[in-house]
Structure 1
Amino acid sequence: MSQEQWTAVDRYLTDQLAPEDDVLTAALAAGDAAGLPAINVAPNQGKMLQILARIQGARKILEIGTLGGYSTIWLGRALPVDGRLISLEADPTHAQVARASLARAGLDKIAEVRTGPALETLPTLEAEGAGPFDFVFIDADKRNNPHYLEWSLRLTRAGSVIVVDNVVRDGAVADPASTDPSVVGTREMIELMAISPRLSSTAVQTVGTKGYDGFALARVLA
């Protein structure tokens, strides 16, 4: 199997099951125009997040890592009209692009982008009593994944769902000798998932337009 074949399969699945509309296409174009890195989730991954949030019956969603708001739109569309989504983004330019895309999607009344390092804004959410969140999507700097997981547990409830993107790292996650901060952070997070009595967790490998990677999925038990 090759990257070319993975991409062709993703294209077929996306065309059939998760086609983009003008709003999603415009969000990607806005990110490109602003020079944002093309590291957003693929359309079929965005649709998967949306379906998971709908299955969960989520009314409050927390996203850690906004980028240009592409995944935020998929998740925001899973919410009821009185739902709430808070997305945390460290880069002010990324946040500005995301806010414009969310407004274009008609989600600016229920989706909010907060700017600043997540480890600084997460305590603010706790102080405000913004939680508990029903669904958390973690897709930010990987070195801090263990901290994001710990904060997610503080801001969720029994029954909440936590999804973490990019956990396979082209297979490097299986290398205990890796000194890559993203790999080290991801391994520490997975090991925390494994020992936490509050979580039932799993992880899967994926291939597609984004190459070889994977995601972790956890349910909060208590």
Structure 2
Amino acid sequence: MSSNDQWTAVDAFFTEHLAPEDEALSAALAASDAAGLPQIAVAANQGKLLHLLALSQGARKILEIGTLGAYSTIWLARALPADGRLVSLEYREHHAVVARANLAHAGLDKLVEVRVGAALDSLAVLEAEGAGPFDLFFIDADKGNNPEYVEWAVKLSRPGSLIIVDNVARQGAVADATSEDTAVRATRRMVEQIGRNPRLSATAVQTVGVRGYDGFLLARVRD
């Protein structure tokens, strides 16, 4: 058995017993596939991790950067109280249409707002609206802007807010200081700036599984 096959089998075992998908989650993936969206949503066990982090945080307001088909959005929104709010920023209108339909199917459209446009523009609008502070941030969009997304997350945070950034290991390439890959260079810059920021306490964890070899970063805004 190859490493990838073994990682996938282990994920399948964990998911079956600890994070089984229900009809709404399965339907969200099916609808995303049917609409031609890329198959890059978080794995089910990773979605459950987001859900548990949001629950543990007691999150009432969540900001997600990168909606795709709203699979991760559903996991996060299910951790909110009845009067909670999740804002998800999506660049592509086609993705947003699919995501809104998936959220409605899951019965979460009253809790979640999907905003379309360049995230850096949408973040500035949120600040102008006084939309923060948010209790939890999930950043999973274009990797080249991750340093700026984290800066905005800190601006829109409160002491104790959690910031989660996906896809930070870049299949190990993040360790290569000579890489010319835009996503790798931006990820390295983001990690370095977080390490220097006195307002943040953070770590990063490598992962393997159905989505291959990658990892995530978790940062907490200091009190």
3-state SS of the aligned residue for 1:201?
strand
Matches within 5 A, 1:54-73: 54-73=55-74
- 1:118 offset after TM fit, Å? 0.1
Deviations 1:139-179 (A, max 9, x none): 00001000000000000010000000000000000000001
Matches within 5 A, 1:18-97: 18-97=19-98
Give the Cα separation in 1 of the matches to 2:83 and 2:188: 37
In structure 2, give the amino acid aligned to 1:184.
Answer: R
Over aligned residues, Cα RMSD in angstroms?
Answer: 0.6
- 1:5 offset after TM fit, Å? 0.2
- 1:15 offset after TM fit, Å? 0.3
- 1:131 offset after TM fit, Å? 0.5
List 4+ stretches of structure 1 deviating above 6 A.
none
Matches within 5 A, 1:53-202: 53-202=54-203
Give the Cα separation in 2 of the matches to 1:98 and 1:184: 30
Unaligned runs of 5+ in 2: none
- 1:102 offset after TM fit, Å? 0.4
Deviations 1:68-126 (A, max 9, x none): 00000000000000000000000100000000000011111010100001011000000
3-state SS of the aligned residue for 2:45?
helix
% same residue:
67
Map of 1:12 onto structure 2: 13
Give the Cα separation in 2 of the matches to 1:51 and 1:30: 25
In structure 2, give the amino acid aligned to 1:157.
Answer: R
Question: What is the TM-score of this pair, normalised by structure 1?
Answer: 0.99
3-state SS of the aligned residue for 1:97?
helix
Deviations 1:4-44 (A, max 9, x none): 00000000000000000000000000100010000000000
Give the Cα separation in 2 of the matches to 1:27 and 1:14: 17
In structure 1, give the amino acid aligned to 2:92.
Answer: D
Deviations 1:34-79 (A, max 9, x none): 1000000000000000000000000000000000000000000000
In structure 2, give the amino acid aligned to 1:209.
Answer: V
3-state SS of the aligned residue for 2:30?
helix
Give the Cα separation in 2 of the matches to 1:178 and 1:193: 20
Give the Cα separation in 1 of the matches to 2:134 and 2:81: 14
Give the Cα separation in 1 of the matches to 2:193 and 2:59: 24
- 1:203 offset after TM fit, Å? 0.2
Map of 1:208 onto structure 2: 209
Question: What is the TM-score of this pair, normalised by structure 2?
Answer: 0.99
Aligned residue pairs: how many? Answer: 222
Give the Cα separation in 1 of the matches to 2:159 and 2:25: 32
